[in-house]
Amino acid sequence: MSKIEDKCQQKGVRLTEQRRLIAKVMSQSSDHPDVDELHKRISKIDEKVSIATVYRTVKLFEESGIIEKHDFKGGKARYEQAPDIHHDHLIDVNTGEIVEFINEEIEKLQNEVAAKLGYKLVDHRLELYGIKTKKN
Amino acid sequence: MSKIEDKCQQKGVRLTEQRRLIAKVMSQSSDHPDVDELHKRISKIDEKVSIATVYRTVKLFEESGIIEKHDFKGGKARYEQAPDIHHDHLIDVNTGEIVEFINEEIEKLQNEVAAKLGYKLVDHRLELYGIKTKKN
DNA sequence: ATAATTGCAAATGCTTTGCTTGTGA
DNA sequence: TCACAAGCAAAGCATTTGCAATTAT
């Protein structure tokens, strides 16, 4: 059973054949696929699953905290399995490649900024867009 | 002449009656209006300006570096006059209110993170979402 | 003059939804 | 059993675009 299936049980999310399949494909994806890409991967295993179901499921999983949704610049929403430890993303503007990173210092500063402005941080978004540095 | 009109001249952006009006309304807006809101404000002065023109102009201004576009979570794109010094945003998730802030430390760390990963930073997005802290 | 801009409505692209049939616990 | 899920096609929403008429330089 995939980790996502596992979480569905915990959260009381009813598992259907389609959801199991979507969970499996998400589990096996180490990148950040959009719904269309996800649907393509799923269709290779079962071409009867509709894209509407993928949309509905992905939304359900997200609302249940099972997967994470990202709206990077320029385009469609992308998804990844909810990680155990939070990370942010650097997007290669040339290739679209996504690199995950963790920086405790920045996280801390964000909280400080919010506090200083009289707010409690409930969410944040940090995305870096870059181009590869030539390595000589 | 508004600061935005000024920049249009510098950048060689042809000024029409509509563009002048959009520039004026943007200049007078200290918040971060979306296209619909902008169109409403414009319509109060000239109700013949179409929303398509607002979309086109706002895009043109953005591509010319005259205004900035922000895709905050949940909704439509919002715009503000391009600031002289870069700032980021904190969004009050209850009221939608937007607070601008500057934090050099975070900016520096972002560059360091990118460099460490072998990238040169070309753009970034930092948004904090918070709720007001009760002040007793 | 004439290349660029506007207004309008139609088209787009991603995402959601109503409805009927199918199905998991 | 029976509330919930899936498939399909239609609808939604923000945004873009084709085209004919208008305008800035």
Residue nearest to nucleotide D3 (CA to C1'): A14
Query: Would the pLDDT of B105 be above 90?
Result: yes
Confidence band for B136, pLDDT divided at 50, 70 and 90: low
Tens-digit pLDDT profile for residues A66-102: 999 999 997 799 999 999 999 999 999 999 999 999 9
Instruction: Tell me how far CA of residue B19 lies from CA of A35, B44, B54, B65, B78, in angstroms.
Output: 38, 15, 8, 15, 18
Hey, is A58 helix, strand or coil?
A: helix
- For residues B62-69, average pLDDT: 95
Mean pLDDT on A20-38: 95
CA count, 13 A, side-chain hemisphere, A73: 19
The number of residues making up chain A comes to 136
Residue of A99, A109, A130 lying closest to B120 (CB–CB): A130
- Assess whether pLDDT exceeds 70 at residue B135: no
- The mean of the pLDDT values for chain A is 94
Q: Which residue is nearest to nucleotide C8 (CA to C1')?
A: B50
Angle among Cα A72, A74, A80 to the nearest 5 degrees reads 30
